[in-house]
Amino acid sequence: MGAKFFFMDIELRPPPRSCVVREFRTDDAASLARHGNNRKVWLNLRDLFPHPYTEAHAAGYIAHVRKRPEILSFAIDVGGQAVGGISLRRGEDIERFTAELGYWLGEEYWGRGMTTDAIRDVTERGFALHGLIRIFAVPFTRNVASCRVLEKNGYAREGLMRQSAFKDGVAEDQYLYAALREEYVPNK
């Protein structure tokens, strides 16, 4: 007896987004403080991000970025709650068409593809809407997950910056990653 095979028409769709990247709202402060007040988060950020991270810190940051004429800082939203942040810090003078990418995500959301999605979204916005030609990031070399999400988004490792940062009493190495508008192909 011969085998029968049944074929179904399948519509291929991109996987659903794991998060939404949106402008900050004033009511995001409590959620940002809840997710940002974590030493593991702080250890991978600049010291401008305080620890402990309070609701007052979050409210001050939101007020500051909402006053800027160019919106380059965004909430990473899951289910209507801001669980992290991602931003572009535009260069000045001869570096005005470049920006540094920075991001953080609450620990309970690590490893779910959200940072990958958020970086793709903000990189595309930076190139398409803000006229940037280069976006770069400088993760600590010990932050393997951050390096990986940059690589998944088409960022190339351009170099090692030895003892370029001082965090929590330790001189740290950082990698320099960058994406160029003319070469950028997002990994969708």
| Domains by residue range for the chain, with CATH | 20-183 (3.40.630.30)
Question: 38: helix, coil or strand?
Answer: coil
Distance CA 68, CA 66 (A): 6
Confidence of residue 187 (pLDDT cuts 50, 70, 90): low
Using a pLDDT cut of 70, give the percent of the chain over it: 90
Number of Cβ within 10 Å of residue 99's Cβ equals: 24
72-111 confidence digits (pLDDT tens) = 999 999 999 999 999 999 999 999 999 999 999 999 999 9
State both tokens at 156: 């190339």
Which three-class secondary structure state does DSSP give residue 67?
helix
As given in the structure block, the two tokens for residue 16 are 């659903």
Q: What is the pLDDT of residues 151-185, one digit of tens each?
A: 999 999 999 999 999 999 999 999 999 999 999 98
Residue 6's pLDDT is 44
Cβ proximity of 166 and 136 under 8 Å: no
Strand order in the sheet with 134-137: 20-23, 73-78, 81-90, 98-105, 134-137, 170-180, 156-167
Q: Is the CB of residue 149 less than 8 Å from the CB of residue 101? A: no
Q: Does residue 129 carry a pLDDT above 50?
A: yes
Output the pTM of the full model.
0.88
Question: Which tens digit of pLDDT belongs to each residue from 141-157?
Answer: 999 999 999 999 999 99
Q: Is the dihedral of CA 65, 184, 177, 103 positive or negative?
A: positive
E strands of 35-155, at which residues?
A: 73-78, 81-90, 98-105, 134-137
| 110 CB neighbour count, 10 Å cutoff | 13
Among 83, 176, 182, 187, smallest CA distance to 137 is for 176
